């Protein structure tokens, strides 16, 4: 089968409606394995719509995503596709990255099975678009931007690819036979598409298509020179936008939770702006947030950790969560990093055992 955008110029001597107008057969794809990352997916989907993409929006979701959240996703995405979790279980490599939770990112591989689309752009749920990026569909598999931590590898938070059952099966085979050098999808994909670094410069997306918030700090002059043309921001790293406390009145991210290495505040504010204006009303509609008096404490019923305070914030007691419930959330990757499951709390607990 000849794929549009493959051999020859598009539109010339078109053989099928698909070749004449491939847009309906192209999609932006993201992934969420729980309700916390789903908030990121909703913000990403909203930002793509806000910048008037002409392509379809697809989210891969696993059974851990709650029913209400799936319904919320359906209002923004054209397709919510249920997939099984693929987990590397490779704690040794994941520990090297200090990201024990990323074994499940192998679930991303399911994106190659979406053969109803001829070409797709995968985007992590922790990315945000700042402008229309439909021009990415002019690129070929596998196009991606360099990883800021090791630029001879591509970062797998944004990539152009072509769904194919054959590729999907080859990737699964590689995962089971050899594993991934980082325990997640990025290691595996860099092994599979190993010619990316050296073969075809057109497959190197400019960094502005995957600007990681942490790199802004490591090369500030470059950010000053080129940051204004950023097209996609990637909140790469352990702390995600939804882990912060946001004050909607002052439109500021609360300083006590602010991690200076994490992001440029403008991008974080933009994420929260889209979250509060577009996503929050949806979550309220689907019963996914609790409203307490004048203090609006945005918290997932299923336990994610974003908070929003409106106006004066009285010392509202945190909702009681049993240790059994906490354990369950932890196992689903929904650790309360800034609260009950913070490093300090864990250390305190360990100390009581050691004594
Ligand atoms: N992801 C998920 N659940 C998880 C961890 C990751 O759904 O528990 C998905 C999500 O789409 C996320 C992507 O896998 O954006 C990659 O993980 P993450 O963005 O946390 O990795 P980073 O970019 O920080 O290295
Ligand atoms: C990364 C990528 C992310 C990927 C993870 C695990 O840093 O940003 O998309 O899932 O590594 O391989
Ligand atoms: Mn990411």
Question: From the CB of residue 181, how many other CB atoms can be counted at a distance below 10 Å?
Answer: 15
DSSP code, position 28: E
CA-based nearest residue to 303, from 275, 286, 285, 328: 328
Distance (Å, whole) CA 162 – CA 114: 9
pLDDT score, position 172: 92
pTM of the model: 0.80
CA-based nearest residue to 20, from 38, 42, 39, 5: 5
DSSP code, position 183: S
Distance (Å, whole) CA 290 – CA 322: 18
Answer for the pair 18, 25: CB distance below 8 angstroms, yes or no. yes
pLDDT score, position 349: 54
Question: Ligand 3: distance of its center to the CA of 264 in Å?
Answer: 16
The 3-state secondary structure of 105-131, one letter per residue: HHHHHHHHHCCCCCEEEEECCCEEECC
DSSP code, position 237: S
pLDDT score, position 295: 29
CA-based nearest residue to 110, from 171, 192, 184: 171
pLDDT tens per residue, the chain (355 residues)?
Answer: 334 444 334 444 445 555 567 778 999 999 999 999 999 999 999 999 999 999 999 999 999 999 999 999 999 999 999 999 988 888 888 887 888 888 889 999 999 999 999 999 999 999 999 999 999 999 999 999 999 999 999 999 999 999 999 999 999 999 989 999 999 999 999 999 999 999 999 999 999 999 998 888 788 899 989 999 999 999 999 989 999 888 777 777 775 455 655 557 889 999 999 999 999 999 999 999 865 322 243 443 333 334 444 333 333 334 445 565 666 665 565 666 556 665 556 555 554 444 4
pLDDT score, position 7: 38
Choose which residue among 91, 104, 184 to substitute to test ligand 2 binding: the one with the highest number of ligand atoms within 8 A of its C-beta. Answer: 184
Answer for the pair 276, 246: CB distance below 8 angstroms, yes or no. yes
Choose which residue among 123, 147, 157, 183 to substitute to test ligand 2 binding: the one with the highest number of ligand atoms within 8 A of its C-beta. Answer: 157
CA-CA-CA-CA torsion sign (326, 327, 328, 330) = positive
Q: In 21-131, at which residue ranges do the beta strands (DSSP E only) sit?
A: 26-32, 56-61, 79-82, 119-123, 127-129
pLDDT score, position 345: 60
Question: Ligand 2: distance of its center to the CA of 236 in Å?
Answer: 8
**Please, what's the largest Cα pairwise distance for the chain?**
77
pLDDT score, position 323: 62
For helices 35-50 and 265-274, the axis angle rounded to 10 degrees is 90
Question: From the CB of residue 338, how many other CB atoms can be counted at a distance below 10 Å?
Answer: 18
Nearest residue (by CA) to ligand 1, atom 5, is 102
Nearest residue (by CA) to ligand 2, atom 8, is 157
């Amino acid at each position: 089968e000849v794929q549009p955008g493959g051999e020859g110029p598009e539109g010339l001597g078109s053989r099928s409606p698909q070749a004449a107008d491939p847009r309906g057969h192209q999609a932006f794809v993201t992934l969420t394995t729980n309700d916390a990352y789903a908030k990121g997916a909703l913000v990403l989907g909203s930002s793509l719509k806000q910048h008037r993409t002409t392509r379809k929006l697809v989210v891969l979701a696993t059974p851990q995503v709650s029913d209400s959240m799936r319904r919320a996703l359906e209002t923004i995405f054209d397709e919510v596709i249920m997939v099984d979790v693929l987990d590397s279980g490779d704690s040794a490599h994941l520990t090297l990255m200090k990201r024990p939770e990323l074994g499940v990112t192998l679930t991303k591989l399911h994106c190659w099975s979406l053969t109803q689309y001829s070409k797709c752009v995968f985007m992590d749920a922790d990315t945000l678009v700042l402008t229309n990026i439909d021009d990415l569909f002019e690129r070929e598999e596998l196009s991606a931007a360099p990883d800021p931590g090791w630029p001879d590898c591509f970062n797998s938070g944004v990539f152009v690819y072509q769904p194919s059952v054959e590729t999907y099966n080859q990737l699964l085979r590689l995962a089971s036979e050899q594993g991934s050098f980082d325990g997640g999808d990025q290691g595996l994909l860099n092994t599979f598409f190993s010619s990316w670094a050296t073969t075809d410069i057109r497959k190197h997306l400019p960094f502005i298509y995957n600007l990681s918030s942490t790199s802004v700090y490591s090369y500030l002059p470059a950010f000053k020179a080129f940051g204004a043309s950023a097209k996609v921001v990637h909140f790469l790293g352990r702390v995600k936008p939804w882990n912060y406390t946001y004050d909607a009145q002052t439109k500021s991210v609360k300083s006590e939770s602010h991690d200076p290495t994490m992001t440029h505040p403008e991008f974080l504010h933009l994420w929260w702006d889209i979250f509060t204006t577009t996503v929050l009303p949806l979550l309220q509609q689907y019963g996914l947030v609790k409203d307490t008096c004048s203090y609006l404490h945005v918290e997932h019923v299923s336990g994610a950790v974003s908070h929003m305070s409106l106006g004066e914030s009285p010392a509202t007691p945190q909702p009681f969560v049993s240790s059994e419930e906490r354990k369950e959330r932890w196992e689903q990757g929904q650790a309360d990093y800034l609260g009950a499951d913070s490093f300090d709390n864990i250390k305190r607990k360990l100390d009581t055992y050691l004594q």
